[in-house]
């Protein structure tokens, strides 16, 4: 039996319970978690913004040590450090054939499986494939990637979601080029990664926009050259800081209609607005036909940073080893399983960067 944070039903509070995991079967891996990041997507699962079968063990951003492997698993072995991949690609579907592995049609098929049971025998699902809010988990082999050597495993957990997403949003989805100006909306875990990525890409001006003035030091440490406190005048202020034109690229990491609209309005004519944040169906953004013609901006979505983890993890590891990417600076709170609800509250209130559950 191991301890885990269980979501019994949508809208219900998390419960810390003892759960029973099976031995890994063919093509499966058992992992002892070292750390798991608390992501806004986990919060979106609790309130029903994103739907998965429940009851479920949440947590999808994690890293740990392999305890055992099932038949046919050869790319990792007991004792290996691994990063969990919550959206593994199948390599067979239409999108995988196009090289768009982040849009894999089968990436989330594992969420419907039963991967554990409570002490009374209730079946549990892995919230986003991996069930990382637990001392141990059993996952499909394609959900584990060898951890980059020389990087502390606790901090490597952030590579599983926040860093891949923020880095990919800047480098892949938005395609930021040296000398361009960038605004990042939201300085949480993904936003802090995006700010670092914009600096790495050689952006000339990097603006961080957030509702909390307490985020300024975090944002500047990540690479922001300017900090804008969100208000009704945000777009106007961003344009004023960029010669009246607006930024070349705006990266929205919040997922709210008004923030997406503001990011769009702060982007120059012909610029690019990339939406990373996950909003609900009630978050509707409106544009009129004339402004679409006049501003000639590009508005695009972004899933998992448009990343291929197998390709991008070694690149990120290189940036970390060379000191260009700092994982530790993104972590503002190291907590236990019991403090996950507090981390959710902090997230809703706009406080802190990434909370990291350390086992």
| pLDDT tens, position by position, 241-289 | 999 999 999 999 999 999 999 999 999 999 999 999 998 889 999 999 9
Residue 283 CA to residue 93 CA, distance in Å, equals 30
Both structure tokens of 32 = 């002892």
The pLDDT of residue 43:
87
Q: Does pLDDT of 62 surpass 90?
A: yes
Q: Specify the higher pLDDT residue, 347 or 140.
A: 140
Check residue 350 and give its pLDDT: 80
Enumerate the domain spans of the chain. 2-160+326-358, 165-303
pLDDT at 161: 94
pLDDT score for 19: 97
Q: Could you please state the CATH topology (level 3) that the domain comprising 2-160+326-358 is classified under.
A: Quinone Oxidoreductase; Chain A, domain 1 (3.90.180)
- Per-residue model confidence (pLDDT) at position 314: 95
The pLDDT value recorded for residue 221 is 96
pLDDT of residue 47: 86
* CATH 1.20.1250.20 given to domain 165-303: no
pLDDT of residue 21 exceeding 90, the answer is yes
pLDDT at res. 351: 83
Could you tell me which of 180, 295, 305 has the C-alpha nearest to residue 249? 180
pTM over 0.85, yes/no: yes
pLDDT in the model for residue 11: 87
pLDDT bucket at 340, cuts 50 / 70 / 90: very high
Q: Decide: 129 and 140 in contact? Cβ < 8 Å.
A: yes
Per-residue pLDDT reduced to its tens digit, 170-228: 999 999 999 999 999 999 999 999 999 999 999 999 999 999 999 999 999 999 999 99
Long-range contacts, stretch 314-323, CB < 8 angstroms, 24+ apart: 314/148, 316/148, 316/159, 316/163, 316/164, 316/167, 317/148, 317/149, 317/150, 317/151, 319/200, 320/148, 320/151, 321/150, 321/151
| Span 82-119, pLDDT tens digits | 999 999 999 999 999 999 999 999 999 999 999 999 99
Q: pLDDT value at position 14?
A: 94
- Per the model's pLDDT, the better-predicted residue between 350 and 178 turns out to be 178
What local confidence, expressed as pLDDT, does residue 343 receive?
A: 93
């Amino acid at each position: 039996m191991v301890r885990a944070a269980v979501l019994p039903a949508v809208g219900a509070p998390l419960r810390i319970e003892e759960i029973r995991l099976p031995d890994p079967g063919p093509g499966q891996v058992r992992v002892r978690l070292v750390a798991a990041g608390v992501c806004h997507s986990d919060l979106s699962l609790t309130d029903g913004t994103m739907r998965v079968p429940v009851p479920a063990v949440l947590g999808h951003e994690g890293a740990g040590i392999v305890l055992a492997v099932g038949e046919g698993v050869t790319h990792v072995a007991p004792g290996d450090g691994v990063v969990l991949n919550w959206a593994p690609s199948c390599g067979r579907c239409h999108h995988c054939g196009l090289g768009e592995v982040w849009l894999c049609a089968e990436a989330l098929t594992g969420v419907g499986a039963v991967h554990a049971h409570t002490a009374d025998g209730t079946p549990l699902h892995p919230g986003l494939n991996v069930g990382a809010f637990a001392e141990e988990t059993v996952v499909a082999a394609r959900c584990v990637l060898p951890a980059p050597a020389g990087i502390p495993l606790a901090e490597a957990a952030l590579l599983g979601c926040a860093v891949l997403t923020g880095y990919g949003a800047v480098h892949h989805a938005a395609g930021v080029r040296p000398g361009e100006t960038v605004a990042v909306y939201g300085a949480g875990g993904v936003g802090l990664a995006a700010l670092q990525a914009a600096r790495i890409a050689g952006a000339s001006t990097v603006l961080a926009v957030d509702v909390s003035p307490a985020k300024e030091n975090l944002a500047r440490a990540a690479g922001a050259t300017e900090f804008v406190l969100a208000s009704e005048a945000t777009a106007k202020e961003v344009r004023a800081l960029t010669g009246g034109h607006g930024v070349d690229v705006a990266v929205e990491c919040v997922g709210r209609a008004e923030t997406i609209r503001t990011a769009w309005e702060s982007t120059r004519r012909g610029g690019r607005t990339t939406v990373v944040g996950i909003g609900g169906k009630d978050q509707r953004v409106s544009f009129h036909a004339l402004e679409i013609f006049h501003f000639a901006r590009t508005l695009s979505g972004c899933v998992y940073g448009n990343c291929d983890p197998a390709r991008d993890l070694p690149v990120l590891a290189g940036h970390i080893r060379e000191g260009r990417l700092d994982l530790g600076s993104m972590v503002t709170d190291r907590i236990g399983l019991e403090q996950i609800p507090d981390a959710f509250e902090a997230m809703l209130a706009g406080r802190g960067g990434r909370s990291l559950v350390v086992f």
